[in-house]
Amino acid sequence: MGITMQSSTKDARINTRSIEKKEESDLVVALVGNPNVGKSTVFNALTGMHQHTGNWTGKTVSMASGYVKAYDRGFCLVDLPGCYSLFAHSREEEVARDFILEGNADAVIVVCDGTCLERNLILALQILCLTKNVVLCVNLLDEAKKKHIEINLKKLEELLGIPVIGTTARKKKGLSNLLRAVLKIKKRPPADVWNLPENAGRSEEETAREIVRHAEEISRTVKNEAGESAYARDRRVDRILTSKAFGFPIMFLMLLGIFWLTIEGANYPSSILSEFLFRFETPLLQFLDFLPAPLPEVLVLGAYRVTAWVVSVMLPPMAIFFPLFTLLEDLGYLPRVAFNLDKCFKKCRACGKQALTMCMGFGCNAAGVVGCRIIDSPRERLIAILTNSFVPCNGRFPFLVAVLTMFFAGSGSVLSAVGLAGFIVLGVLITLLVSYLLSVTILKGVPSSFTLELPSYRRPQIGSVIVRSVFDRTIFVLGRALVSAAPCGILIWICANVMVGDASILKICTDFLNPFASLFGLDGVILMAFILGLPANEIVLPIIVMAYMSGGTLTGMEDLIGLKALLSANGWTAVTAICTMLFSLMHWPCATTLLTVRKETGSLWWTVAAFLIPTIVGFTACFLVNTIENILL
């Protein structure tokens, strides 16, 4: 064979028992392909999206499996992680390679992009060196047609000696032939396998070059490009979106637009949802009246009220932000963001993929931490995890927008969005600075290289966008937030209602923290609100209002004019507002994010570091602003 490989360590092995056969005659079919070739679209179309997704034992790369019955035969489809090669340089490549090497699949469907055939054939030829049971699926033929690219599928089939099926997966064209082709290859003799000529002692690098040469040669033989209008259009757009002059301004404007839509769109549904949820408080108190006092109030005015507040404040922005983010991902713009920021992160000795995980943090820092799995280097993955909280999640957006509007932007949502985008840029700069400091201190190292594909611009699949953003991101993040919100509500109620002498525990704590907090331009109430807001950033502002009004339950004020008057009466100035926003931008991650860091790193030490690093940076920034203000005055 052309490639000889050793099985990787136990960490990359797959639990084959997770592949459920309904009958002994069922065939296990692996779907393999480069990222962005429509492999998962093929998978979903064949299975009807009735698949289950999860982290199988011994790995951290997400895969999906599904079952389909066709031609009186059952097929167990396994959607392997997207990879560019079987020369394992990443966990995705290790998992795909080991699955094929260990003989877990009866057949392999290699999905290729018809617009980039030569690059995709590299993986196909590598797989053909390992197994004869291969079907080549040339997908995205509609995109190829737009680029005036014609592929001679019959000629390609002759050259490779395997079935070649052309498809347009998003329109479900040609998919019915894929499984029929799988049944046919089971009857082919081993002699039909394509084999790579090689000399004894050929190195991995030499073998790789030989495969690339064959892929280019085959592609030139079967592909006819009558024109490149669509391809040229993509490159013209890229010359603008990734240029030094326009790349970063366009990114800023794009960010500004997303935040404006999120802010404007979330206000009304948040208000409706809040009114709906809080309507159940009185019936719940009456229902729980049989419990001894003060347990009903603890459960309803404490646990339920905080949970309802988190849902009403957190859900609408996420329901807007995540689909917009996923839309950019589906459109093909996010790889351009990573391309623009790659040099910045490389100068900081970090990985360019951190740009993508940082963007995910805008929706939720916990989701951003999970996204750091795409970074192969353990050192760079830790840097990305430890710095992800420097970009504010949507839980901090309402607080930042409220303070910006009250003290600096008036009632203009556009000005609020501009101010918020400015704080985001500051967060990105701090992320770069701290990434560099970590890279030259406790996480020393040289930045690794990675393959960054700039896929063709495509029309987003709205249905897929909604499903992925709602189920994979919004519900996942909201579920984790709710787990910590209810216990926090009980703690807040206890602090606000249990009296020690003439003062509540909350009042005693805020008075105790006041001298320390004043060094940073804050006060004891603000600092205590951030401490109690550890489970969810959404409740920081209501806790501040509750403490200033000496209330016993979480309180909100919809009128920003009245809220500004309350804050000003308690000593807030423009400097207080700036320091509070800076601390909101740079302070300890929420409990959900910390739990995620603990799970992803498996280390209590790195979880503590994820807590301390942004906290120290936040206190330092506030101290500098407050000191400068005191000197000037």
Mean pLDDT value across residues 398-413:
74
Q: d(Cα 276, Cα 315) in Å, to the nearest integer?
A: 14
pLDDT at 91: 64
71 & 15 share domain: yes
Q: Above 50 in pLDDT, residue 55?
A: no
225 & 251 share domain: no
Q: Above 50 in pLDDT, residue 190?
A: no
135 & 284 share domain: no
Q: d(Cα 518, Cα 539) in Å, to the nearest integer?
A: 22
618 & 585 share domain: yes
CATH code for the domain in which residue 124 is found: 3.40.50.300
For 248-307, what is each residue's pLDDT tens digit?
Answer: 898 888 877 887 787 778 778 878 888 888 888 889 988 988 888 888 988 888 888 888
List, in sequence order, the alpha helices (H) in 332-443.
Answer: 334-347, 354-363, 365-371, 378-387, 397-404, 413-439
For 360-377, what is each residue's pLDDT tens digit?
Answer: 887 778 888 988 887 878
pLDDT at 202: 59
57 & 111 share domain: yes
Q: Is residue 203 part of a domain?
A: yes
**Parallel, antiparallel, or unpaired: how do β-strands 27-33 and 107-113 relate?**
parallel
Mean pLDDT value across residues 4-8:
31
pLDDT at 543: 84
Domain boundary among 201, 229, 257: 229
Give the dihedral sign, CA 605/610/612/616.
Answer: positive
Q: Above 90 in pLDDT, residue 150?
A: no
For 466-497, what is each residue's pLDDT tens digit?
Answer: 776 776 667 766 776 677 678 878 888 888 88
Q: Is residue 242 part of a domain?
A: no
215 & 118 share domain: yes
Q: How far is the CA of 357 from the CAs of 88, 261, 337, 367, in angstroms?
A: 22, 22, 11, 8
190 & 253 share domain: no
- 619 pLDDT tier (thresholds 50, 70, 90): very high
Q: Which residue has the tokens 């992680």?
A: 81
pLDDT at 193: 44
Q: Is residue 46 part of a domain?
A: yes
Which of 26-30, 213-217, 471-475 has the lowest average pLDDT? 471-475
Q: d(Cα 496, Cα 546) in Å, to the nearest integer?
A: 9
Q: Is residue 535 part of a domain?
A: yes
515 & 617 share domain: yes
Q: Is residue 375 part of a domain?
A: yes
Tell me which residue range forms the domain holding 190.
10-229
pTM over cut 0.75? no
Which range scores top for mean pLDDT: 295-304, 549-558, 613-622? 613-622
pLDDT at 449: 64
Query: Mean pLDDT, the chain, as a whole number?
Result: 80
Q: Above 60 in pLDDT, residue 195?
A: no
Q: How many domains does the chain have?
A: 2
pLDDT at 12: 38
pLDDT at 390: 93
Residue type, 20: E
Dihedral angle computed from the Cα positions of residues 616, 618, 624 and 630, in that order, rounded to the nearest 10 degrees: -120
**Strand order in 73-79's β-sheet?**
51-54, 63-70, 73-79, 27-33, 107-113, 134-139, 164-166
Contact 10, 58 (CB under 8 A): yes
Domain boundary among 172, 195, 229: 229
Q: Is residue 432 part of a domain?
A: yes
Mean pLDDT value across residues 422-448:
88
282 & 200 share domain: no
197 & 300 share domain: no
Q: Above 70 in pLDDT, residue 109?
A: yes
Q: Is residue 234 part of a domain?
A: no
Q: Is residue 5 part of a domain?
A: no
- Give the distance from CA 614 to its chain's centroid: 20
pLDDT at 325: 76
Q: Above 90 in pLDDT, residue 386?
A: yes
pLDDT at 623: 95
109 & 185 share domain: yes
For 59-108, what is each residue's pLDDT tens digit?
Answer: 334 567 888 888 888 898 988 888 877 765 566 667 777 787 777 788 99
517 & 388 share domain: yes
